Amino acid sequence: MKLVLDTKDLTDGFFEDTRLLGIQAPMKDYQFCWQLNQITGYDFRNNSELEIQLKKKNRHYFFAVYEFAEPATCLKHYLYNNQFDGEYLLPEFKHLYFLWLLKDDVVPDEKLQELIQSIRTVNGVQLVIELTNEKIKNKEHLVF
């Protein structure tokens, strides 16, 4: 008998009060974060404890997660690297290099649009789109 862990409730809980952006920007994660920090005034830092590890075809893949907590609010920003060594954290979005999760507080549409406009000013950014939960097939990969 094989027991299967039902992660649906856990995943649904994780994604409550979140917004997710997909970013196409062919550059290294640390370069992208540095530019974001310059433009937004944020302070994204790599959090190795949140790093996502996937095992596929007997190999381990490691996806860096950068974190920034907005002062005086509950809002946290997480920037995931969507690619590592030819594998993808979200294979349904192979064209996206980064995933930006806004979590733990309600983000109004106006604020999200301002953020999208800021990200678009980063040198090398080709696309910024909001990803809705229905479009994400492997969202459990984003849960840390």
pLDDT digits (tens, 9 = 90+) for 16-40: 788 999 999 999 999 999 999 999 9
Which domains can be identified in the chain, with CATH numbers? Answer: 16-142 (3.30.310)
Contact 19, 130 (CB under 8 A): yes
Pairing of strands 52-56, 76-81: unpaired
- pLDDT given at position 15: 77
> 80-117 b/e with 16+ CB inside 10 Å = b?
bbbbbeebbbbeebeebbbbbbbbbeebeeeeeeebee
pLDDT surpassing 90 at residue 13? no
Token pair, residue 9, equals 């409730």
Pairing of strands 19-24, 98-103: antiparallel
C-alpha 16: how far from its chain's center?
15
Specify burial of residue 119 (Cβ count, 10 A radius: 0-12, 13-18, 19+). Answer: buried
- pLDDT given at position 4: 63
* CA distance linking residue 111 with residue 124, whole number of Å: 22
- pLDDT given at position 135: 75
Helices (H), ranges, the chain: 8-14, 29-40, 109-120
* CA distance linking residue 98 with residue 65, whole number of Å: 10
Maximum distance among all Cα pairs of the chain, rounded to whole angstroms: 54
**Each residue's pLDDT tens digit, 71-108:** 999 999 999 999 999 999 999 999 999 999 999 999 99
What's at 22, amino acid-wise? G
- pLDDT given at position 26: 95
